[in-house]
Amino acid sequence: MTEGGQPVEHELTAEQAVALVAAKAVRVSPGTRAGLWKVRDNGYVGAAVIGGVEVRITPKTPVDRVFFLLGYARRPRGWRQGEVDAGDHPELLPALAHAYALAADRALRQGVLQGYLEMEEALPVVRGRIREADQIRRRYGLPLPVEVRYDDYTVDIAENRLLLAASSRLLRLPGVAVQTRRTLRHVIARLAGVTALVPGRPLPVWRPSRINTRYHTALGLAELVLRGASYELDDGTAVRVNGLLVEMWRVFEDFVTVALTEALRPYGGRSELQDKRHHLDHGRRVLLNPDLVRYVIDSGGAEIPAAVVDSKYKISTGPEGHSADLYQMLAYCTVLGLDHGHLVYAEGGAEPYRHVVRGAGIEIMQHAIDLTLPPADLLDAIERLAESIVRTDDDHELMASYS
């Protein structure tokens, strides 16, 4: 399938159709006859095997541009487009596997990274520090073995565990090129002595530093690979998916908010992402969750909201189109005490427009970002958006001072 394309008909068993519906990776509806089902994307791109069905969803945005957007994840881990080689693969999963294999191989060329790992063991000799409470509780006064805690200089650290897990997982996925698989096996061979992750447990935490700089790109991609291992449904049920699927609306939201935060920094103030401190009602039962709120310091030294931004990958479904987006932004502006707000769409979802709300004096600016632009031009568009937001703030402050 192609993201945003027309539904395609496939023969599926009832069990396969149920599995696809449960995973929510695609939308499924009855076809023209029994056993035939219409399948279309549900906002994801990538490839996966779900209920025995191999699903491939090609992004409408070029893959190299998707990688650029992924470099602006909500918690960026150090890689940017210039460091990622997606090759000539038109689909996301083969391209990601190719990029990760090259990045991991490059990271290990200087040798496998080692670091200190805190160990707790019972040993016949004293090493490091004695864990006195454990010694008394477990050994009942016996001198040996000794419960100790020490730092071991080893390759079995979080960074290498992530590389091993991502490499092993990609080898099990469909559609990965032969040459990429060969590189992945070479990476795994280099990681001898590293402990495999336990499925279902949280990923180990690593922290960017000068020492692990050469690992940053590979680790960023590894985390992306491993995050695609399962999906949690609205009822809390976890569905395992053997593949990698990426929600494009989330990718777009992360790119807009993170890149816009960087572009707004020279203008002062601060930007809060996913600001959950505000509620629609006095009873604080209806939580508001704008994508970005910009705060500035007023003349009295207090921090106040200056702008609110919400990103929309596409127009809301339903007969009202993007009216729901406008109502949502109107609520944000009302609660935050702002007379203007900004909606940012991926171009094609909506065109630039300025809405003036009758009887409220609130303006809602509708912006459009063209995701097919080269990376440098995309960032220029974000810079212009930041300038527009700040200029709007200043214009409204000036009007308020004269009123």
Domain count across the chain = 3
pLDDT over 50 at 229, yes or no: no
Each residue of 132-182: pLDDT tens digit?
Answer: 677 667 777 677 787 777 677 789 999 999 999 999 999 988 788 899 999
The mean per-residue pLDDT over the stretch 127-136 comes to: 72
**Three-state secondary-structure class, residue 309:** strand
Q: Verify that 216 and 327 share a domain, yes or no.
A: no
Does a structural domain hold residue 361? yes
232-248 burial, b at 16+ Cβ within 10 Å, e below that, comes to eeeeeeeeebbbbbbbb
pLDDT over 70 at 327, yes or no: yes
pLDDT, residue 189, reads: 96
pLDDT, residue 153, reads: 75
Q: Verify that 101 and 122 share a domain, yes or no.
A: no
Domain, as residue range, for 304: 268-402
Give the model's confidence band at 49: pLDDT under 50 very low, under 70 low, under 90 confident, else very high: confident
DSSP strand E in 157-298: where?
A: 230-232, 238-240, 242-247, 270-273, 292-297
Task: List, in order, residues 6 or more apart from 223 with CB less than 8 Å away.
Answer: 77, 162, 166, 203
pLDDT over 70 at 341, yes or no: yes
Is pLDDT larger for residue 358 or for residue 76? 358
Q: Verify that 342 and 386 share a domain, yes or no.
A: yes
Residue at which a domain ends, from 154, 185, 218: 154
The mean per-residue pLDDT over the stretch 332-360 comes to: 88
Give the model's confidence band at 237: pLDDT under 50 very low, under 70 low, under 90 confident, else very high: very low
Q: Percent of the chain at pLDDT above 70?
A: 84
pLDDT, residue 84, reads: 47
For residue 310, how many C-alpha atoms fall within 13 Å in the half-sphere facing its CB?
23
Q: Percent of the chain at pLDDT above 90?
A: 40
